Amino acid sequence: MSEQDDAVSDGEGHDHSEKVIMKKLILATTVLTVVAGVALYLWFMPGYYQNYAPEQPIPFSHQRHAGQFQIPCLYCHGSAEYAEFASVPGLETCMNCHTMVLPNSPWIQQVKKAYDEKKPIAWVKVHVLPDFVYFNHSRHVSAGVQCQTCHGPVETMEKVYQFSKLNMGWCIDCHRNNNYLTPSRIEFAKKRDEMRGAEPMNPVLQAMSHPDPHNADISCSTCHR
Ligand code: HEC
Ligand code: HEC
Ligand code: HEC
Ligand code: HEC
Ligand code: HEC
Q: What is the pLDDT along the chain (225 residues), one digit of tens a residue?
A: 344 444 444 444 456 788 888 888 999 988 888 888 776 665 555 456 889 999 999 999 999 999 999 999 999 999 998 888 999 999 999 999 999 999 999 999 999 999 999 999 999 999 999 999 999 999 898 877 889 999 999 999 999 999 999 999 999 999 988 777 666 666 666 676 677 664 555 444 444 445 456 678 899 999 998
pLDDT score at 186: 65
Of 45, 46, 49, the closest CA to residue 37 belongs to: 45
The pLDDT value given to residue 1: 39
Q: What is the pLDDT of residue 116?
A: 96
Mutate to test the pocket of ligand 1, among 70, 77, 111, 115 (most ligand atoms within 8 A of CB): 77
Ligand 3 centroid–CA 140 distance in Å is 9
167 lines ligand 5 (CB under 6 A): yes
Is 44 buried (19+), middle (13-18) or exposed (0-12) by CB count in 10 A? exposed
Q: What is the pLDDT of residue 112?
A: 97
DSSP state of 156: G
SS (H, E, C) 99-141: CCCCCCCHHHHHHHHHHHCCCCCCCCCCCCCCCCCCCCHHHHH
Q: Whose CA is nearest to atom 40 of ligand 4?
A: 171
Ligand 5 neighbour 128 (Cβ under 6 A):
no
Q: How far is the CA of 145 from the centre of ligand 4 (A)?
A: 9
pLDDT of res. 4: 44
CB of 62 sitting under 6 A from ligand 2: no
What is the pLDDT at residue 42? Answer: 58
Whole-number pLDDT of residue 119: 94
